[in-house]
Amino acid sequence: AKSAGGNRFELADPEADARVITRHGLTTGLPAALDRGEFFIEYQPLVHLGDGTVSGAEALVRWLHPQHGVLGPDRFIPLAEHTGLIVPLGRWVLEQSVRQARLWRERYGESTAAGPMRINVNLSPCQLTHPGLVQDTVDILERTGVAPDALCLEVTESALIGADDDLLKPLRRLAEMGVDIALDDFGTGYSNLANLRRLPVSVLKLDRSFTQSMQQYPADPVDLKIVEGIVALAHSLDLTVTVEGVETGAQAEQLRVLGCDTAQGWYYARPGPPDRLHELALVDATG
């Protein structure tokens, strides 16, 4: 029932991506880019659908390449995974983002209408299998003095399909500490819904393709039923539902009525520098 096409770039073959990047000569610069300070992070606000207040932000990494300008993660994450740079890069993103969250929390308080003010950070499957993940995360939270409940780690549904206990163990330990785990791009991986109970996740991030199907008003009745069913199932398992890729008010409204909890998308704000979130939080604080 999901609309075909449009969102399919996410299924791109990482090997093919790596070849494209190599052809454009990005490979040589990548290992040194971290030392040279060429990466930076943009933040996109997460909005509580109930009352429109900002409840946190997702960290999205970019590379300011000396020749090619700003490159999005789809251009270099596959290569970083391929070369192993993703582990130190991911650790850097985590530390920067948690530091930023601490600044926001100092400035605007630690809780919002939707619970603790949160920072969401993407985890690559390569980081999941790296033995240092739990300790690195603990160290970063301790160094920055940020409570674990301020952190949400996003793992794609496809990374966890058929995951065995070894893969889930670090996520379970993080979840026990109070870190939230979100299942990203949910609905694209064809996972068994009953499988959800086995995973230490507390947030479902509905893939953008569902949001796209809410483009018309009213949306396709079958799509409405599917989202309604996912939301009901998620809530019955005590999971919250975040929707991504919200570009219009009509989408936001339909998804709110369907019971989704949190939204993210260009309708609210594009990813941007941390000060943009300051502005949004200030707007909310002053009504």
Do residues 131 and 159 lie in contact, with contact meaning Cβ atoms separated by under 8 Å? no
Among 18, 60, 140, 230, which residue interacts with ligand C2E (rule: CB under 6 A)?
A: 60
Among 136, 157, 184, 223, which residue interacts with ligand C2E (rule: CB under 6 A)?
A: 184
Size of the residue set binding Ca ion (CB under 5 A): 5
Site string for ligand C2E, 152-171 (x = CB under 6 A): --x-----------------
Which residue stretch of 20-28, 82-90, 104-112, 152-160 sits at the interface with Ca ion (rule: CB under 5 A)? 152-160
Instruction: Output the smallest distance, CB 185 to Ca ion, in A.
Output: 4
Site string for ligand C2E, 86-105 (x = CB under 6 A): ----x--x------------
Reduce the DSSP state of residue 285 to 3 states and report it.
Answer: helix
Instruction: Output the smallest distance, CB 245 to Ca ion, in A.
Output: 8
Among 271, 280, 281, 284, which residue interacts with ligand C2E (rule: CB under 6 A)?
A: 271
Do residues 6 and 212 lie in contact, with contact meaning Cβ atoms separated by under 8 Å? yes
Q: Is 247 in the site for ligand C2E (CB under 6 A)?
A: yes
d(CA 261, CA 106): 25
Q: What are the backbone angles phi and psi of residue 153, rounded to the nearest 5°?
A: -100, 130
Whole-angstrom CA distances from 66 to 81, 205, 271 are 21, 34, 21
d(CA 287, CA 285): 5
**Residues between 163 and 202 that touch Ca ion (CB under 5 A):** 184-185
Measured from the CB atom, is 268 or 285 closer to Ca ion? 268
Question: Residue 69: left (phi > 0), alpha (psi -120 to 50), or beta?
Answer: left
d(CA 278, CA 271): 13
Which residue, among 116, 156, 152, 159, has the nearest Cα to 137 in the 3D structure? 152
Q: Is 157 in the site for Ca ion (CB under 5 A)?
A: no
Binding site for ligand C2E (CB under 6 A): 44, 60-61, 72-74, 77, 90, 93, 122, 124, 154, 184-185, 244-247, 264-266, 271
Binding site for Ca ion (CB under 5 A): 10, 122, 154, 184-185
